[in-house]
Amino acid sequence: MYNPTLATRRLTTYMDAVRTQWPTLSAEGPPPDASTLARLDDAWLPNPTDWKKGETVRALTLAEQQLILVEVLKCKASLRYWLQHYARIKDKDGRSSLVYPLLDSQDIMLAHMAELEMQCAQGLRTDGLLLIILKSRQLGISTLTELVLLHRLLFHSNLYALIAADVEEQSANLFNMIERALRALPWWMRPRITNHVKDSELKFGDIDSLLRVTFANTTRGGTQIGMEKGQLGRGSTVHLFHGSEMSTWSNPGQVDDALDPAIPVSHNTFAVLESTARGRNWWHRKWLSSVAGQSRWHPVFIPWYAERRYQMPAPANWSATTMAVRHAQAVQRDSPRWCGREVTLTRDQLYFWERKYLAAQQERTLYKFLAEYASNDEECFSVSDDGFFPGEVLMDLRGKEWPALANVVYP
């Protein structure tokens, strides 16, 4: 689904199976054009008061049935194909548009998913695709995660998907992303929805799959859908999961105590824990254990410079400060590990970073700034809050090389 090589193999297997009935059927060629899709829409009469319902008003031709079958199989085999042609989101201008082309940051996430999937196929990994993602803001990771969950729910059966954020409003926002993408799909790709609870639940009865969305902030009364406080996923088998902004959860330990055991050790599971940094807390410890290879979760750091739109025109007479130059050098050093390529900041990118840094320094909010504009994962956690020592002092101290204790002479 995620690895291009494996997606091609899957599609070949699917097509070999259907050719027992239609020997000449082919998956080659472009996707259906707008006029073809319009003719398919003519066969469907939507319910004017409920987008989830409708009825066919004419029989599909054999050619139309074959076209639908091939498109469904191509989407099932390849997440990228589905994203490119059918996955719609609300863009920055509030319009419905295809999510493709993906952001560079989203491509990084998909590259990690492809790598893990291949490891599973080669027998090098026994667990599923469990990602812990440390990120900057506005990089499209939540959007991509919801679309991955929806893709699984559309083309596979008997799944339980759970989404959780720290507060109810954010949980509702994540649910709406999925609902909006589901509503925009062609009628022939959308499974029948047998139960729909606003902002919290979708059930696809014919394929026996369920999506539930909850909020995990126990200071507001615990989770919804009848769970006890701090018992996220307990008593269930959770095949798909998204935990959003984990660093803000008041009781993140429920991920270890209740959720983790509910996610089976299987190649078919997909789960994401994602957040920006917020000091040295549970999220920091969870990240360190994944980087050390001591947990099920595969670490993915997506820095601000992974997305090239973060820049500002630099004046002709501008010269970078020492701190900005150090940051640019750190980016060049650390980017191959996290971006899969060496990144050299452009003049406009570095000017953008420096302006942000100087403003945060003046306002004593470097602890917030570094959580979102760090060069590497360690720097995200280097300043926890607006404490007694200014953030730039702590940054400088942590960036220095100190002598080993054995070389220190005590009086």
82-127 pLDDT, tens digit per residue, is: 999 999 998 877 888 999 999 999 999 999 999 999 999 999 999 9
Same domain, 120 and 232: yes
What rounded mean pLDDT belongs to the chain?
A: 88
Same domain, 296 and 326: no
Angle at 203 between CA 48 and CA 162, to 5 degrees: 125
Same domain, 309 and 277: no
**pTM (2 d.p.):** 0.89
Same domain, 193 and 179: yes
Same domain, 154 and 258: yes
Same domain, 165 and 308: no
Q: What is the pLDDT of residues 136-162, one digit of tens each?
A: 888 899 999 999 999 999 999 999 999
Q: What is the pLDDT of residues 244-270, one digit of tens each?
A: 999 989 889 999 999 999 999 999 999
> Residue 93 domain-assigned?
yes
CATH of the domain at 140: 3.40.50.300
Q: Evaluate the omega torsion of the peptide bond into residue 101 and state whether it is cis, within 30 degrees of 0.
A: yes
> Residue 340 domain-assigned?
yes
The pLDDT assigned to 348 comes to 96
> Residue 175 domain-assigned?
yes
Same domain, 211 and 325: no
Domain ends where: 252, 280, 302? 302
Domain ends where: 302, 328, 362? 302
> Which token pair is 6?
């494996």
Residue 409 pLDDT grade (very low, low, confident, very high; cuts 50, 70, 90): very low
Alpha-carbon dihedral angle through residues 392, 394, 398, 400, given to the nearest 10 degrees? 60
Residue 396 pLDDT grade (very low, low, confident, very high; cuts 50, 70, 90): low
The pLDDT assigned to 95 comes to 86
The pLDDT assigned to 235 comes to 74
The pLDDT assigned to 407 comes to 38
In this predicted structure, the answer to whether residue 54 has a pLDDT above a threshold of 60 is yes
Domain ends where: 237, 271, 302? 302
- Mean of pLDDT values over 364-377: 90
Q: What is the pLDDT of residues 116-142, one digit of tens each?
A: 999 999 999 999 999 999 998 888 999
221: buried, middle or exposed (CB in 10 Å: 19+, 13-18, 0-12)?
A: exposed
Same domain, 221 and 338: no
In this predicted structure, the answer to whether residue 403 has a pLDDT above a threshold of 70 is no
> Residue 19 domain-assigned?
no
Task: Report which secondary-structure segment, H or E, holds 351.
Answer: helix 347-363
> Residue 403 domain-assigned?
no
> Residue 282 domain-assigned?
yes
Same domain, 317 and 223: no
> Residue 392 domain-assigned?
yes
- Give the Å distances, CA to CA, from 117 to 6, 112, 155, 187, 326: 8, 9, 17, 30, 36
Residue 399 pLDDT grade (very low, low, confident, very high; cuts 50, 70, 90): low
In this predicted structure, the answer to whether residue 411 has a pLDDT above a threshold of 90 is no
The pLDDT assigned to 97 comes to 92
% of the chain surpassing 70 pLDDT: 89
173: buried, middle or exposed (CB in 10 Å: 19+, 13-18, 0-12)?
A: middle
> Which token pair is 178?
């999925």
Same domain, 198 and 331: no
Q: What is the pLDDT of residues 314-324, one digit of tens each?
A: 999 999 999 99
Residue range of the domain that includes 137: 86-302
% of the chain surpassing 90 pLDDT: 75
Same domain, 130 and 180: yes
> Residue 63 domain-assigned?
no
Q: What is the pLDDT of residues 14-41, one digit of tens each?
A: 999 999 999 999 999 889 999 999 999 9
Number of structural domains, the chain?
A: 2
The pLDDT assigned to 224 comes to 45
Same domain, 339 and 267: no
Phi (first) and psi of residue 90, to 5 degrees: -90, 120
Q: What is the pLDDT of residues 192-239, one digit of tens each?
A: 999 999 989 999 999 999 999 988 764 333 444 444 556 787 778 999
Q: What is the DSSP string of 366-378?
A: HHHHHHHH-SSHH
